[in-house]
Structure 1
Amino acid sequence: MTMQLKKNTDQKRTAQREFEELVPSRYALRVGEIDVLVVSDGVLPLPTATMSTNADPAARAAWFKDMFLGPDAFDWALNVLVVRSGDQTILVDAGLGGQFPGFPRAGQFPRRLEAAGIDLASVTDVVITHMHMDHIGGLLVDEVKNRLRPDLRIHVAATEVEFWASPDFSLTSMPSPVPDVLRSTAEQFMKAYHDKLRTFEDEHEVAPGVVAKLTGGHTPGHCVVYVTSGGERLTFAGDALFPVAFDHPDWHNGFEHDPEESVRVRVRLLQEAAASGELLVATHLPFPSVGRVAVDGDAFRWVAAFWDY
């Protein structure tokens, strides 16, 4: 009886894994000689109002309707990056983690890394674009903390560390419980990893061809990551832009600590990407979030890359 029950359980788990593989959760590409893997950490639901806090409600409703989203909430993608350059394996951001109630479909990156054959113990470096909970929460999960190597280096802008010592939420427009959770998560992260932090001021080469650069805006210490090799470049934009940013780069996001500066950062990044033709990936663009940017009048147009399969 017990053996039969175990057999049935194993068969169900196998069937579940096979079903899960029908839904892609990682996408691999090469930038010159550098391997890049985009990994989905899942999705979390957010109010549509957070994407456009300074927009006319009718214009916001029309945009979400045109995108077949909303009207009141939508699923926000969560993407992290794994980059292999030389003998270094770099994780860019770490997703939400599974410790926050109400977000059961997020916090998936640990098992998806495992499914991709990437051992967390092989990660030599982590770049944190900024210390919001959906970028550092994954590092606070026991199954992750216990498997990381003792000499792990975590790269984050010095401005970001300073900001979270006494964060200012006065210009944000977040759901009411969020600021306290963001603050406590940042405190947990600093307590757990303070001895592994490698801070930088403006720009830092994490590995050959992998550079973290301070942008500010979304948070004072927000950074992007440039991957450059063989005449090609990919930019991981973190939270500098969101799905609505191409049509309405001037719309504010409720999670931006400096909305006006965020607009300037966003427009500059989009203009650079359009001029260079480089690949662009961002945390909250729909997975796999690999594409290019074109100028479209006073706005921009997202051109999704064709999947290479």
Structure 2
Amino acid sequence: MFSVENAATPNPSALDELVPSRYALTVGDIDVLVVSDGVLPLPTKMLGHNAKQVERDKWFDGMYLPRDAFDWALNAMLVRSADHTILIDAGLGMDPDLHLPRAGQLIGRLGAAGIDLTEVTDVVITHMHMDHIGGLLLDGIKERLNPNLQIHIAASEVEFWKSPDFTRTSMPDGFPDALRATAKKFWAEYSKYIRTFDDEREVAPGVRVRRTGGHTPGHSVVRIDSNGEALTFAGDAVFAVGFDQPTWHNGFEHDPEEAARVRIGLLKDLAGTGELLAATHLPFPSIGRVSADGEVFRWVPAFWDF
């Protein structure tokens, strides 16, 4: 059974890694495990393509990051509540000819943590970009899953990917085609497992998924709430630059203005409650809190507890 204690303990068959790739914590009575799927090397312009280059350069210089390209973190989450074991997003999985060799590590790292895929009762997909669904498309994975698995996705997300619109995105060459192909394959493989929702759904006691829109029409966040403690997994609603520059447009956003409104609203809410935040592309393990001064925000990383 998944718990903080056994998931945080090295498995004899664990991957030989020099840096940690999983981080366990509790939110009230709910066990949470953040698992790194690796990193994506992408152009820095993707984090603010509506900003002037001099402004982007200033931000990256201030963060001691290279100006041209850097590694985006890829985080997923495993949650244990009552008799549910819930995987939130599934990582990149395969490399669809985009030369991303350091991503797609989630399934191997779950195994190294002693997680048997048959334990997973539910999967929540924050949105259907390939770095959130691809892990389920690896060869042999479908056969290892629980036959009663339920995959929760917003209905508007499923509808969008029937004929996706990329006119307002700003992606490197090859990405739109890869995203279309991966979403199409995912639907073909897993449609019978998918349970759509309109606005929100309680997946398990204390685990609720809510559609936000913005990044994609059905983009969703997951809130874990137990015994007065809470954590929100924000998917792609928040990127590292989004605290200082919440109105900068990310290249993967299909509706950039709405994505900025969603981001600002979410950050205000989290600053008001003081609850924990995690997100796909914040530096691993991405656990922290938000402070705010008007619409200027600051990410406050949690001190690691081990």
Shorter-chain TM-score range: over 0.9
Instruction: Give the equivalent residue in structure 2 for 1:285.
Output: 282
SS of structure 1 residue aligned to 2:20: coil
Query: In structure 2, which of residues 66, 69, 85 is the aligned counterpart of residue 70 of structure 1?
Result: 66
Q: Report the Cα distance in structure 2 between the residues aligned to 1:123 and 1:165, rounded to whole angstroms.
A: 27
Aligned-partner residue type, residue 188 of structure 1? K
Query: In structure 2, which of residues 227, 248, 252 is the aligned counterpart of residue 251 of structure 1?
Result: 248
Query: In structure 2, which of residues 80, 83, 86 is the aligned counterpart of residue 84 of structure 1?
Result: 80
Q: Using a 3 Å threshold, how does the CA distance of structure 1 residues 210 and 57 change in structure 2: closer, same or farther?
A: same
Contact 1:173/1:255 (8 A) holds in 2: yes
SS of structure 2 residue aligned to 1:235: strand
Contact 1:76/1:284 (8 A) holds in 2: yes
SS of structure 2 residue aligned to 1:165: coil
What is the deviation of 1:92? 0.3
Question: Higher mean Cα deviation, 143-152 or 156-165?
Answer: 143-152
Aligned-partner residue type, residue 308 of structure 1? D
Aligned-partner residue type, residue 30 of structure 1? T
Q: Using a 3 Å threshold, how does the CA distance of structure 1 residues 166 and 246 change in structure 2: closer, same or farther?
A: same
The answer to whether 1:177 aligns with 2:174 is yes
SS of structure 1 residue aligned to 2:133: helix
SS of structure 1 residue aligned to 2:50: coil
SS of structure 2 residue aligned to 1:306: coil
Q: Report the Cα distance in structure 2 between the residues aligned to 1:15 and 1:114, rounded to whole angstroms.
A: 11
Q: In structure 2, list runs of 5 or more residues that go unmatched.
A: 1-10
The answer to whether 1:40 aligns with 2:40 is no
Query: In structure 1, which of residues 237, 242, 255 is the aligned counterpart of residue 239 of structure 2?
Result: 242
SS of structure 2 residue aligned to 1:228: strand
Percent of pairs with identical residues:
65
What is the deviation of 1:297? 4.9
Q: Report the Cα distance in structure 2 between the residues aligned to 1:298 and 1:218, rounded to whole angstroms.
A: 19
Instruction: Give the equivalent residue in structure 2 for 1:161.
Output: 158
* TM-score (normalised: structure 1): 0.93
Question: Higher mean Cα deviation, 94-103 or 228-237?
Answer: 94-103
SS of structure 1 residue aligned to 2:161: helix
Instruction: Give the equivalent residue in structure 2 for 1:132.
Output: 129
Q: Report the Cα distance in structure 2 between the residues aligned to 1:127 and 1:45, rounded to whole angstroms.
A: 25
* Deviations 1:154-202, CA, capped at 9 Å, x for gaps: 0000000000001111111111211111001000000000000000000
Q: Report the Cα distance in structure 1 between the residues aligned to 2:102 and 2:12, rounded to whole angstroms.
A: 19
Q: Report the Cα distance in structure 1 between the residues aligned to 2:140 and 2:287, rounded to whole angstroms.
A: 29
CA RMSD of aligned residues (A): 1.5
What is the deviation of 1:17? 5.6
Name the structure where helix makes up a greater proportion of residues. Answer: 1
What is the deviation of 1:111? 1.0
Q: Using a 3 Å threshold, how does the CA distance of structure 1 residues 82 and 69 change in structure 2: closer, same or farther?
A: same
Q: How many aligned residue pairs are there? A: 295
Q: Report the Cα distance in structure 2 between the residues aligned to 1:222 and 1:23, rounded to whole angstroms.
A: 30
Q: How does 1:1-309 map to 2 (within 5 A)?
A: 19-20=16-17, 22-101=18-97, 102-309=99-306
Aligned-partner residue type, residue 28 of structure 1? A
* Deviations 1:203-240, CA, capped at 9 Å, x for gaps: 10000100000000000000000000001110000000
Aligned-partner residue type, residue 281 of structure 1? A
Q: Report the Cα distance in structure 2 between the residues aligned to 1:209 and 1:201, rounded to whole angstroms.
A: 19
Runs of 4+ residues deviating >4 angstroms: 14-19
Q: Report the Cα distance in structure 2 between the residues aligned to 1:142 and 1:231, rounded to whole angstroms.
A: 41
Q: Report the Cα distance in structure 1 between the residues aligned to 2:262 and 2:53, rounded to whole angstroms.
A: 24
* TM-score (normalised: structure 2): 0.94
Aligned-partner residue type, residue 128 of structure 2? M
Structure label with greater radius of gyration: 1
Q: Report the Cα distance in structure 2 between the residues aligned to 1:76 and 1:206, rounded to whole angstroms.
A: 28
Aligned-partner residue type, residue 95 of structure 2? Q
What is the deviation of 1:99? 3.2
Q: Report the Cα distance in structure 1 between the residues aligned to 2:52 and 2:78, rounded to whole angstroms.
A: 38
Q: In structure 1, list runs of 5 or more residues that go unmatched.
A: 1-13
